Every structure is written in structure tokens, then in C-alpha cells.
Homo-oligomer: A and B are copies of this chain.
Amino acid sequence: MSGQRDIVLFWGSGSPPCWRVMITLEEKNLEYTSRLGSFDKKDHKTEEVLALNPRGQFPTFKYGDIVLNESLGIVDFLVAQHKSTGCCLLPDDPTKQAAVLQRKYEIANLIRATETSVYYLFRTKKDEIDPEKVKMSDLLNELEKWNGFLGKTEHVALPEFSVADIIFYPQVAFLERVGFKFEDKFSNIANYMKKMKERPSIQKSWPPHWKETPNLSLVTPYVK
């Protein structure tokens, strides 16, 4: 692509922050060198990665000589630098732009609730889990809110796909991966997730190890 600098992405399979970047690259039709690493093998702590990303995290991202490693920053950067390519993602119209920014940042509440429930379960050995520490009700309250939003618009902020979906979708896909079922209580989310799974940018960036292994049932004992 003319004018595009060489893009290199170091990433881990199934990580929502990495996935945000990949969906953005696909939506903007940008070619990139994919450097898939393994969290289990600590590929995010190699010398090569640490030289670019002193915090030793995925995503680690190069855009020509530019290094930028915060996933939300990479998304903003690609949206701004490739404004006229591919999907718009952040409209100029003030009302639409405000709606996208509201949801884009409001997702922090959902991510925080995931931290104290699902991420806690994900990171703790089964026999060391303290059920008192699993705050599933916070997460269910958040999902209720987002289910309501999706009852009003087809995508998470607007009728059209936007940068808010790029942050929201991988987060909720991760919840499905660990065993959440949305059909009964959160049918708007369930319908949205089904539709989004058909989107080319999401199909192309689907976590490879999710294709080869069944979903987990990590949350099953905590969600009736």
C-alpha cells in the first residue's frame, strides 16, 4: 500500500488488547508482519520484545521506526493516520463522535468487572480460588447495561460499526470463550455476537488456538 510504513505486530492468541489492534488493522486494510508469541513460553518477556516494550507486554507494535505499545493508543493512532482508508471507525459528526467516545471509554467498567471475576478465575489455580473473591454480580450488572445499549442500536455505540465495537467485541468474545452463554438473559448481546462473528475483520483475526480447542467452562459454577 502506497505510503504505508512497515507494520510489525507482536501478539498473543486470545488476548483482547492484541485482538483490538488486529481488528483495526483489518478494518483499515493494512498489511502487517504477524509475530505470534506464546504467553506460556513468556515470549512477551524476550530480549527482542523488551527492547521495544520495557513493560514486556503484548501487543508490541512497530510502525516503521515508530514504537507504540498501548493497545488503545495503537487503535487511535491507526484510526487517525489512516482516516480515509477502510471503515471510518470514528465519525467526524459531533453527535456520532460523542456517542462512540462515550461507549469506547465506558467499556472500562466492563473490563474492571471482568478483572474481579473472570480474570481472577482465569489466573488462579482451581484449588486456590476463594469464591468470596469472585464478584460475578458486578459483571452481570455491566452485561445488563450493555445488553440495554444493544437494544437501542445495532452496534455498540451507533447503527454502524465503530471503534467502540473494536474494544467491546473481543472483551465479550473472551467471556464466551470461558463459558458465558448470553442467549437467555442477554439476548441482544447474543444476537450481536453472532452477527459480528461473520464480519471479515473478526474472522481474519480470530484467535488461532480457539479454533483448535473447545470453549472452557470456567464460569459455569458461578453463573446459574
CB proximity of A174 to chain B, nearest CB, Å? 18
Chain B residues with CB under 8 Å of A94's CB are: 63-64, 66, 77, 81
CB interface residues, A 76-94, toward B, < 8 Å: 76-77, 80-81, 92, 94
| Copies of this chain in the oligomer | 2
Smallest Cβ-Cβ distance to A61: which chain B residue:
B98
Chain B residues with CB under 8 Å of A104's CB are: 70, 73
Chain B residues with CB under 8 Å of A69's CB are: 102
| CB of A33 closer than 8 Å to a CB of B | no
| CB of A101 closer than 8 Å to a CB of B | yes
| CB of A210 closer than 8 Å to a CB of B | no
Smallest Cβ-Cβ distance to A54: which chain B residue:
B145
Task: Annotate A202-218 by CB proximity to B: 1 below 8 A, 0 otherwise.
Answer: 00000000000000000
Give A contacts to B, CB under 8 Å.
55, 63-74, 76-77, 80-81, 92, 94-95, 97-98, 101-102, 104-106, 108-109
CB proximity of A99 to chain B, nearest CB, Å? 8
Inter-chain CA distance A102–B61, complex, in Å, is 11
Chain B residues with CB under 8 Å of A71's CB are: 105
* 9 interchain residue pairs of minimum CB distance: A73-B101, A70-B105, A73-B105, A68-B98, A66-B98, A72-B105, A68-B102, A76-B101, A77-B101
Asked if residues B77 and A98 are in contact (CB atoms below 8 Å), the reply is yes
Which of B72, B77, B81, B106 is in CB contact (< 8 Å) with A70? B106
Chain B residues with CB under 8 Å of A98's CB are: 63, 66-68, 73, 77
Chain B residues with CB under 8 Å of A81's CB are: 94, 97
Asked if residues A95 and B76 are in contact (CB atoms below 8 Å), the reply is no
Smallest Cβ-Cβ distance to A76: which chain B residue:
B101
